[in-house]
Amino acid sequence: MGTKGETLRAIVVESGDGVFGKLGIYQLSAASVAKAGPPDLSTTTKVGDFAIVFTTNDIDGYTAKIKAAGYPIVSPPVVLRPNPANEVQAREMMFRDPDGVLVNLVQPGVPKRK
């Protein structure tokens, strides 16, 4: 991970009976963070970006709170794969947290707008 000689603390959280998903949380020393430079707070994405994904049942409510807090919005709530045959579809939005990490919110089962 390019952290040789650095102070690194880590925890990995797993879900499910097998390995259905993992979340690795890493903390570097203050000196390492200072060398990293400012976080990317752009409203675009690039090759190599990653996102942490959460499901919600109130994507519009969270989007309003995220906008009010001033977080950079990468994508407002949209149906990414519209299918006219589906009565319900997932909507998702993406923003950057203060550390520049992409956060993707997904609301499954949203009734199709008529």
Residues 22 and 43 in one domain: no
Q: How confident is the model at residue 70 (pLDDT cuts 50, 70, 90)?
A: very high
Distance CA 72, CA 67 (A): 8
The CB-based long-range contact list for 108-112 (8 Å cut-off, 24+ gap) reads 108/55, 110/59, 110/79, 111/87, 112/86, 112/87, 112/88
3-state secondary structure at position 60: helix
- Per-residue pLDDT tens over the stretch 15-68: 766 656 777 777 777 777 677 778 889 999 888 888 889 999 999 999 999 999
Q: Given this model, what pLDDT does residue 40 score?
A: 87
Give me the helices (H) in the chain, please: 30-36, 59-68
What mean pLDDT, rounded, does the chain reach?
84
CATH number at residue 45: 3.30.720.110
pTM: 0.71
Domain that includes residue 2, residue range: 1-37
Total structural domains within the chain: 2
Residues 51 and 68 in one domain: yes
